[in-house]
């Protein structure tokens, strides 16, 4: 299957000097319906999702996995829910660290810090193997869950090391310096709003570091669970799966029939936040002035943490 684009967001600013006449947001999300999955076995689709969504691939698999099991009327052992929640949190943390070390660096015009990002993404893989030693955590109905105490302890040690090298406070201070310059010429509340968004992201990342450590410790107590029989066939069924991510809830809905996946739809936080009637459009209706309107727009959009390519451009007269 050809690689699909996760989409892109374009903000067109109609302005004259520092005066802003209007702002139009154009959201292109071709993955609203994953037509490439139609007719394929569900297991094949689950294997493809991390290729389509390299940043939050685990979350996409977990949401689609829930939806598949619901459509097939399968109820996995309760231990799988706890293990999957831990994987979802690790994936969320990796996305948050990408945000602070890569995206924020670009905004602040400072060198990116890829080390913690790579370490966080490796940690997701190691936690998965510590829980599912055969690497079958995405198996429909549940893989072989066998928590490895030593491997989980090693993951906690790596998490502690990651916490030590992350400088979230320093990143926020650097970001604030550039943010004040970027928001020059706007009303004072705009600077406070953007600053608050980034501060909230730091708080959320810090909290998730603590929660993940506690969850890893609790995983040792999970009972070993054998492999669930594979999904063979289903006449027809509809299912929905929801997984939390760094940007909000990710929702998958799909229909199964005897041939495989009949329809598959995804609703991501970006779809809701940047919708025509969403909060960003409503907020931007109040932006009327900035020393550099395009730069101010870039920062306001970034404050909402889009997970797709963003283009800020001046509208033609």
SS3 call for 264: strand
Q: What does the pLDDT read at residue 232?
A: 55
Phi–psi pair at 230, nearest 5 degrees:
-65, 155
Q: Mean pLDDT, 10 residues at a time, over the chain (317 residues)?
A: 64 95 86 71 88 84 95 91 97 94 92 94 96 95 96 97 94 93 95 95 96 97 85 76 92 90 89 89 93 96 87 88
44 sits in which H/E element: helix 42-52
Query: Which pLDDT belongs to residue 284?
Result: 92
Q: What is the pLDDT of residue 91?
A: 95
DSSP string, 151-210: HHHHHHHHHHHHHHH--HHHHHHHHHHHHHHHTTTS-HHHHHHHHHHHHHHHHHHHHHHH
Residue 244: phi and psi, rounded to 5, are: -70, 145
Closest to 140 measured CA to CA, from 216, 71, 37: 71
pTM above 0.85, yes or no: yes
Q: How far is CA 235 from CA 51, 188, 257, 258, 260, in A?
A: 29, 59, 5, 5, 10
Q: What letter would DSSP give residue 229?
A: P
Predicted confidence at residue 120, as pLDDT, reads 96
Of the chain, the end-to-end C-alpha distance in Å amounts to 41
Q: What is the pLDDT of residues 77-98, one digit of tens each?
A: 999 999 999 999 999 999 999 9
Whole-number pLDDT of residue 163? 94
**Between the CA of residue 210 and those of 68, 89, 107, 124, 309, what are the distances in Å?**
31, 11, 27, 15, 30
* Domain edges within the chain: 1-29+273-317, 75-230
Mean pLDDT of the chain: 90
Q: What pLDDT, on the 0 to 100 scale, is given for residue 271? A: 87
Give the C-alpha separation, 232 to 258, whole Å: 9
């Amino acid at each position: 299957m050809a690689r699909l684009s996760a989409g892109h967001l374009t903000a067109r600013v109609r302005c004259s000097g520092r005066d802003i006449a209007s702002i139009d947001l154009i959201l292109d999300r071709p993955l609203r319906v994953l037509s490439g999955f139609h007719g394929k076995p569900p297991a094949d689709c689950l294997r493809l999702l991390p290729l389509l969504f390299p940043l939050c691939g685990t979350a996409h698999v977990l949401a689609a996995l829930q939806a598949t099991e619901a459509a097939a009327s399968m109820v996995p052992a309760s231990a799988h829910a706890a293990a999957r929640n831990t994987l979802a949190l690790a994936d969320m943390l990796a996305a948050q660290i990408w945000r602070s070390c890569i995206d924020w660096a670009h905004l602040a015009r400072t060198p990116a810090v890829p080390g913690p990002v790579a370490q966080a993404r490796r940690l997701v893989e190691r936690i998965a193997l510590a829980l599912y030693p055969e690497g079958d955590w995405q198996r429909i109905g549940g893989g072989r869950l066998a928590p490895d105490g030593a491997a989980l302890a090693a993951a906690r040690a790596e998490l502690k090391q990651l916490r030590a090298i992350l400088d979230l406070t320093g990143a926020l201070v650097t970001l604030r310096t550039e943010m004040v310059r970027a928001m020059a010429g706007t009303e004072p509340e705009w600077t406070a709003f953007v600053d608050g968004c980034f501060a909230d992201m730091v708080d959320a990342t810090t909290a998730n570091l603590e929660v993940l450590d506690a969850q890893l410790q609790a995983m040792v107590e999970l009972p070993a669970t054998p492999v669930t029989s594979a999904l063979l066939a289903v006449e027809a069924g509809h299912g929905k799966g929801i997984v939390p991510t760094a940007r909000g809830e990710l929702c998958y809905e799909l229909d199964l029939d005897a041939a495989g996946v009949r329809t598959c739809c995804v609703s991501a936080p970006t779809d809701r936040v940047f919708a025509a009637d969403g909060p960003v459009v409503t907020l931007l209706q109040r932006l009327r002035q900035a020393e550099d309107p395009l730069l101010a727009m870039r920062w306001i959009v970034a404050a909402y943490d889009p997970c797709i390519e963003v283009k800020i451009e001046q509208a033609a007269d």
